[in-house]
Amino acid sequence: MPKTIIRDFMERTRWTGSRATDLGDTDQTKGLPQPPLELGYDGTKRVIELPSPKDVKVDAIDLRDAIEKRVSVRSYAEEPISLEELSWLLWCTQGVKQVTSMPSTLRTVPSGGARHPFETYLLVNRVEGLSPGLYRFLAIEHKLVELSLDEDLADEIAEACWGQPFIKKNAATFIWTFVPYRSIWRYGGRGGRAIMEAGHICQNLYLSAEAVRCGVCAIGAFSDERMNTILGIDTEEQFVIYMATVGRKK
């Protein structure tokens, strides 16, 4: 097998302990404080309460049907989705079920060591009760923080995704950033492989969207530099890793 960036990544993140329970020389074993369970935010920004997921009514759908119907949808109706439906989708993809004494969060998706090294940003186009703009999901509080209502955001994000037009015509685009140190703190270099967990999140979005008559399309084709710049994030701390559009099916 020729030397490739993938092969290099696998070698650099190879397990160095003698057994699965041996974490080796990591920041956790050194006694360093663990990183926050969630990134902070500007307290001057508007925070929006989301409906409780327990109160959101969704269609009863058989799991087999949801899996068999799972396809990528790139064409959406102009009908908006409700704030309740958005709340449901956010809970299904990063919802916090419990904060443990460690502390750690137990969520609706699996994560090695319950580290959950992701943040969810949203480009909102058509969601009842929300102005179009950029938001971030505060998973522990189950709220949204409003980041920007710039009218050019949808155009900028579509251009950063190499001109894919459906990004401007859907209800909302989920943008997931990877915060590597949450996993690296516990697992050292091996924690870099937690990047694969983005797949758990996106698949939950596909399946849960079926219960609210929506379609999803995962997006991996985007300019990393431009997306990180649009979100205004520190790439030493986090970076965009995956995206997905959501909208009402035609």
* 215-246 per-position pLDDT tens digit: 999 999 999 999 999 999 999 999 999 999 99
Q: Which residue has the higher pLDDT, 18 or 40?
A: 40
Q: Which residues contact 187 (CB under 8 A, 6 or more apart)?
A: 23, 26, 112, 113, 115, 194
Local confidence band at 20 (pLDDT 50, 70, 90 cut-offs): low
Q: pLDDT tens across 111-159, in order? A: 999 999 999 999 999 999 999 999 999 999 999 999 999 999 999 999 9
Supply the pLDDT for residue 86. Answer: 98
Q: pTM of the entire structure?
A: 0.96
Residue 179 inside a domain? The answer is: yes
Residue 243 inside a domain? The answer is: yes
Residue 6 inside a domain? The answer is: no
Residue 65 inside a domain? The answer is: yes
Residue 16 inside a domain? The answer is: no
Domain extent, residue 54, equals 50-248
The CATH number assigned to the domain holding 239 equals 3.40.109.10
Supply the pLDDT for residue 116. Answer: 98
- Give yes or no for residue 17 having a pLDDT over 80: no
Residue 44 inside a domain? The answer is: no
Local confidence band at 18 (pLDDT 50, 70, 90 cut-offs): low
Supply the pLDDT for residue 24. Answer: 75
- Give yes or no for residue 25 having a pLDDT over 90: no
Q: What is the total count of domains within the chain?
A: 1
Residue 24 inside a domain? The answer is: no
Supply the pLDDT for residue 15. Answer: 81
Q: How far apart are CA 13 and CA 196, in angstroms?
A: 13
- Give yes or no for residue 21 having a pLDDT over 80: no
- Give yes or no for residue 166 having a pLDDT over 70: yes
Supply the pLDDT for residue 140. Answer: 98
Residue 60 inside a domain? The answer is: yes
Measured at the CA of 42, the angle between CA 168 and CA 48, to 5 degrees, comes to: 60
Supply the pLDDT for residue 1. Answer: 53
- Give yes or no for residue 172 having a pLDDT over 80: yes
Q: Per-residue DSSP letters for 86-140?
A: HHHHHHHHH-EEEE-SSS-EEESS--GGG---EEEEEEESSBTTS-SEEEEEETT
Residue listed under structure tokens 């319950």: 114
